[in-house]
Amino acid sequence: MFRSNNVAARIFERQISSPAPGTSVHCARRFYENIVPSHTIFDMECPDILFRKFSDDGQYLITFSRNHQDLIVYRPTWLSFSCREQDCHDHELPSKANKFESFFTQLYTVTLASSGELICKDFFLYTEKNQFGIFATSTAQIHDAPAVGGAIQGIPSIEKITFHLVRLEDGVILDERVFCNDYINLAHSMGVFLYDDLMAIVSLRYQRIHILQIRDSGNLVDVRSIGEYCREDDELFLNSSAQCTPNPDRNRTHNIENGLDHNQHTPEAPFLGGLKQRLLSFIFRGIWNEEDDPTVRMQCLKKKFYFHFQDYADLVIWKVQFLDRHHLLIKFGSVDGGVARNTDNHPAFFAVYNMETTEIISFYQNSADELYTLFELFCDHFHSSSKNSFYMNFLSTHSNNIHALEQLRCNKNKASSLPQFVKKMLATLPINCQSQSPSPYFDHSLFRYDEKLISSTDRHRQSTDHPIKFISRRQPNILKFKIKPGPESGSADTRTKKISSFLFHPILPLAISVQQTLFLQPAVVNIHFRR
Amino acid sequence: MLGSWPSIDPHNFSQFKPNDPSNSKRMTPVTYRPTHDRTVPPPDQVIGPEAKNILVRHFYQHAEEKLRTKRASSENPSPERASKVPSFCL
């Protein structure tokens, strides 16, 4: 590592010595201690747009129009100006520095949403290899939608959800995938997970996991649909089997009992869905294998399985992520929790499912210590960074950073009850895809910052008037830079609640902070960069 | 050269030309024959990378451990038991 903190000395040292094996990125990152976004331009003039994020390779800034209909993509450039006089360093920046266009060049505007639809402003996924962006538009949500056509009761319905695959280089819409009368959790890309070129879309309403592949040509290809069927040819097999004819009399009495009286109804499948069957049989076999004695075994089965059978059978898929190309981590829970924002009080379970062998590998409750231990040790692998994504391989988490681990252990010791702490930590699983910023300023071995005020996780936070300090780790108590959202003098009205969001460029010392109040006042946009 | 290390085949190193021309003696290495076959690799052995990442491997390992430990789990009957934290060799 470097012997001096001086950037020139470090550059000379870099010329003559090579870093320890496997640490070249970490060594290069140390230069970010010297190059920080220390200058802020407050309340810059920018067009009335909604900021989403920088793409993970830093090539594009993704924004949406205020009316949620258009996608506007910018290229981050850098402020440039010339000065004729001699000692320019102390001069003020020219007035054009206050303009958004000095830092960003607009590449194009594309209309994604037709009338009646809105772009989901929290949804954006990026494939680094081909520079494709995935966006979502949807129509309005219908609550209390009737459960027809295989849908489950209790989940709202959206008339039309469209996923658009856009080539960000020029804004051409390459492909679309439409889901009708379905419900997919689009906020913060929760219902969709991208791994390399595979996309998993969770249809909460029909309880299916759609796996799609993004081809290099820009086409979205269906790979499989897991839920009702596990293998691609299950449906064919069941349809051709004579035992599969549904019983219409049984369905009619069932519906009358429920008070439903629609004449047109699709016959309910007599079997539980394929994935549910796999899950129930896994739980059964696990309990069966625990005991050798047949009597004790039956007692165990009655107590642990049959007593809870209906609860297990009623579990619904909430969320899914890829662990690798073949394995999915699926979160199950009750129907009420599927759309609820706060799922703390709902029981939840995790299952690891192998898509190729269609087997469930393991099943845990959300308070399982075993799963928490894996989360603590191998958090990086839950982030599923694929080989194509260079910058995402170096996120600073508690599994690869001693400072983050100390912070986690500290929180664990402070927690009033360990099972509650475990549940809270495991509630972050499955993780939201691409929700962490790869910016080196969030690296815990370089900087110390208040995680409650700012962190690499991409979500809105409550805003304070005080600037957020980034303090150097290696030189304790030396403040490297500050990020202050909102106007320079602080806002006059301290009572209204303000929320801030931060967009850090993955490579350049450039960050945008956007402060909004909950009413329709214009947002205050600050830009932080190295002058 | 390589000192006086033995070799299994006396014909090994027969083409070796030493850098130092003064020492032009071609040495046949000392041969040895192993007295056991514990170290011989199986004839159909193929060494390749592990396809699963470490996290997925641990999930499979846990599943196998649960299959094997039939006796210990009967002490704690409830399904929501706080299971013991396993120790890892990393």
* C-alpha–C-alpha distance, residues A104 and A58, integer Å: 12
Q: How far is B2 from chain A (nearest CA, A)?
A: 28
**DSSP state, residue A307:** T
Q: What is the pLDDT of residues A129-147, one digit of tens each?
A: 889 999 999 998 888 778 7
Question: Any chain A CB within 8 A of the CB of B72?
Answer: no
In angstroms, the CA A126 to CA A349 distance is 29
- Summarize the confidence of residues A215-240 as an average pLDDT: 89
DSSP three-state, residue A205: coil
Cα distances from A245 to residues A238, A241, A248, A256, in angstroms, run 9, 8, 9, 21
For the stretch A397-414, pLDDT in tens is 999 899 999 999 999 999
Given a cut of 60, whether residue A247 has pLDDT beyond it is no
Supply the pLDDT for residue A377: 93
Prediction ipTM score: 0.84
8 A C-beta contact, residue A161 and residue A184: yes
Would the CB atoms of A289 and B70 count as touching at under 8 Å?
yes
In angstroms, the CA A502 to CA A461 distance is: 9
Enter the pTM of the model.
0.83
Give CA–CA dist A32/A53, Å, rounded.
21
Other C-beta atoms closer than 10 Å to the C-beta of B81 total 14
Considering only CB atoms, which chain A residues are within 8 Å of B59?
A: 323, 327, 352, 361-362, 374
Distances (CA, A) of A149 to A144, A152, A266: 15, 9, 6
B83 has a chain A CB within 8 A of its CB = yes
Residue A306 DSSP class: I
Q: Are the CB atoms for A447 and A35 separated by under 8 Å?
A: no
Q: Residue A482 burial by CB count (10 A; 0-12/13-18/19+): exposed, middle or buried? A: middle
Nearest to A139 by CA among A157, A121, A155, A123: A157
DSSP-derived secondary structure for B19-85: S-TT--PPPPPPB---S--TTPPPTT------SS-HHHHHHHHHHHHHHH--SGGGGS--TT--PPP
Q: Which residue has the higher pLDDT, A319 or B79?
A: A319
A246 CB-near residues (< 8 Å, 6+ apart): A267, A268, A269, A270
Specify the DSSP element, H or E, that contains A70: strand A70-76
The DSSP bridge partners found for residue A220 are: A214
Q: Which of A248, A280, A294, A241 is nearest to A360 (CA)?
A: A280
**Interchain proximity A368–B83, CB inside 8 Å:** yes
pLDDT at B1 over 70: no
Shortest CA distance to A442 belongs to which of A425, A454, A459, A460? A454
Phi, psi dihedral angles at A138 (to 5 degrees): -150, 160
Of B54, B63, B90, the CB nearest to A361: B63
Question: Which burial class, exposed, middle or buried, applies to A134 when counting CB atoms under 10 A from its CB (0-12, 13-18, 19+)?
Answer: buried
Per-residue pLDDT of A479-521, as tens digits, reads 999 999 888 887 667 777 888 999 999 999 999 999 988 776 7
Instruction: Assess whether pLDDT exceeds 80 at residue A457.
Output: yes
| Residue in B55, B70, B90 nearest the CB of A291 | B70
H/E element, A301 = helix A294-301
CA distance A347 to A368: 12
Mutate to test the interface with A, among B52, B54, B55 (most CBs of A within 10 A): B55
Picking from B59, B67, B73, the nearest residue to A352 by CB comes out as B59
Three-state secondary-structure class, residue A404 = helix
Shortest CA distance to A72 belongs to which of A123, A106, A104? Answer: A106
How many interface pairs between A and B have CB atoms less than 8 angstroms apart? 67
Q: How many other β-carbons are positioned within 10 Å of the β-carbon of residue A22?
A: 7
pLDDT band at A388 (very low <50, low <70, confident <90, very high): low
Rg of chain A on CA atoms, in Å: 26
B58 in contact with A, Cβ within 8 Å: yes
What mean pLDDT, rounded, does chain A reach?
87
A455 contacts A439 by C-beta, under 8 angstroms: no
- To the nearest whole angstrom, how far is the Cα of B29 from the nearest Cα of chain A? 36
CB A505 within 8 A of CB A499: no
Comparing C-alpha atoms, which of A166, A155, A106 is closest to residue A133?
A166
How close A30 comes to chain B (CA, Å)? 28
- Stretch among A163-167, A261-265, A287-291, A427-431 having the lowest mean pLDDT: A261-265
* Distance in Å, alpha carbon of B75 to nearest chain A alpha carbon: 11
**Mind telling me how many Å the CA of B48 is from chain A's nearest CA?**
18
DSSP helix/strand/coil, A504: strand
Out of B55, B79, B80, the one facing A378 most closely (by C-beta) is B55
Please tell me which residue, A156 or B1, carries the higher pLDDT value.
A156
Handedness of CA A383, A30, A32, A469 (dihedral sign): positive
Asked if the C-beta of B82 comes within 8 angstroms of chain A's C-beta atoms, the answer is yes
**Residue closest to A432 by CA, chosen among A331, A346, A326, A362:** A331
* Lookup: tokens for A479: 């403040």
What are the tokens at A139?
């129509």
A58-90 tens-digit pLDDT: 999 999 999 999 999 999 998 888 787 777 777
Work out the burial of residue B32: count CB atoms within 10 Å of its CB; fewer than 13 is exposed, 13-18 middle, 19 or more buried.
exposed
Cβ atoms A162, A175 nearer than 8 A: no
Q: Residue B23 pLDDT more than 80?
A: no
Which of the four pLDDT bands, split at 50, 70 and 90, describes residue A342? Answer: low
CA angle (A83 as vertex; A82, A87 as ends), nearest 5: 135
Torsion sign across C-alpha atoms B14, B20, B25, B27: negative
Residues of chain A numbered 362-401 and touching chain B (CB < 8 Å): 362, 365, 367-370, 373-374, 377-378, 381-382
Give me the DSSP letters along A80-123: -----SS--TTSPPPGGGGBGGGTEEEEEEEE---TT-EE-TT-
Contacts for A191 with CB less than 8 Å, ≥ 6 apart: A184, A185, A201, A202, A204, A319
Q: Beginning with the edge strand found earlier in the chain, give each strand of the sheet holding A468-472 in spatial order.
A: A447-448, A468-472, A479-483
Query: How far apart are alpha carbons A323 and A329 in whole angstroms?
Result: 6
For β-strands A118-119 and A132-138, DSSP reports them as: antiparallel
